[in-house]
Amino acid sequence: MEDGPTFRILCVGGSDPRMGAGVEMDAAVCRALGFEPVTVVTVETEQSEHGLESVRARSTSELTRELVRALHQGVDAVKVGALGNAALTETLAEVLLPWLGELPIVVDPVGQASRVAKPGVMLNTPEGLALMQEKLFPLADLVTPNRIEYGTGDAYEFCGAVVRKGGHDEGDIVSDRFWSLLEDPVEFRRPRLPGRTSVHGTGCAFATLAACHLARCRDPRLASKEAGDVLHAWLSGPGLREGRLVPPPTPRRDWPLSMFRFPSPERSANQD
């Protein structure tokens, strides 16, 4: 098999070097699929097995400079994670606005860490989350909240496409619920895996998997299904270490094709 083009994914979010979520997880997912990660850090976090300890936001000027450089060097999709505060959230929205329609964008609406060791420490402020809903959601091809982030659902009413992940729900079946302004709602159901209820980094991984799929095929419904299927396969195997997700470390050149399913050229032509 000949090498195909390398797809580049811009991953914007917090750095979690000790526990391996955030942009570290984004990069690992991209590499496991044979994609090239381009990471831009918004906040430096200190996390441990007990939870989130501290968050230090970068300056808006640093963020703007790195985002503009990455975008103009060329990327095929954007994945957005933790943004820290309102200023950084607004900065990202302003930089991405000119790219609306040109690049698929996936937003993981991260506010709180799954485990918080110190009260008041968060991955985005309430003001930042409000700005995310106002200015980033309209730019997104897909928004990927979990049950807690989704809440009543009011903030997601006018998103282009949403997949509400079911990992935080109860029961033996995990149901990811997808809907968009253009399609009827659909559920993607998978058996709950024993011992896999609190795995660090799965939210980051899901959104990055979806962004990788959208880089190849701009179909949010299919991206949501395939992201869940690949994540479920990883969780079913040996890809865990001390409660953290560990994507396969060695990419195979055919993985972007073999791990994901894409519409046939005939189907894509019929949909245009």
N-to-C CA span, the chain:
30
HSE-CB for 259 with a 13 A CA cutoff? 28
Look at residue 234 and tell me whether its pLDDT is greater than 70: yes
- For residues 144 and 108, the answer to whether their CB atoms sit within 8 Å is yes
Work out the pLDDT band at 41, boundaries 50, 70, 90: very high
Give ∠ CA 235-238-240 in degrees, rounded to 5: 65
pTM score of the predicted model: 0.88
Least confident of 105-114, 115-124, 179-188: 115-124
Task: Name the percent of the chain lying above pLDDT 70.
Answer: 83
Work out the pLDDT band at 47, boundaries 50, 70, 90: confident
pLDDT digits 0-9 by tens, 98-110: 999 999 999 999 9
Residue 158's CB: how many other CB atoms inside 10 A?
10
Average model confidence (pLDDT) across the chain: 86
Give the mean pLDDT of 224-252.
79
Look at residue 21 and tell me whether its pLDDT is greater than 90: no
What does the alpha-carbon distance between residue 212 and residue 215 come to, in Å, rounded to a whole number? 5
- Quick one: pLDDT at residue 197? 65
pLDDT digits 0-9 by tens, 198-217: 677 889 999 999 999 999 88
What does the alpha-carbon distance between residue 49 and residue 244 come to, in Å, rounded to a whole number? 10
Sequence-ordered alpha helix ranges (H) in the chain: 22-33, 60-73, 86-96, 126-131, 147-150, 202-216, 220-236, 255-258, 265-271
- For residues 40 and 257, the answer to whether their CB atoms sit within 8 Å is no
Work out the pLDDT band at 80, boundaries 50, 70, 90: very high
For 199, list phi and psi in degrees, rounded to 5: -95, 125
- For residues 123 and 45, the answer to whether their CB atoms sit within 8 Å is yes
Look at residue 22 and tell me whether its pLDDT is greater than 50: yes
- Quick one: pLDDT at residue 90? 98
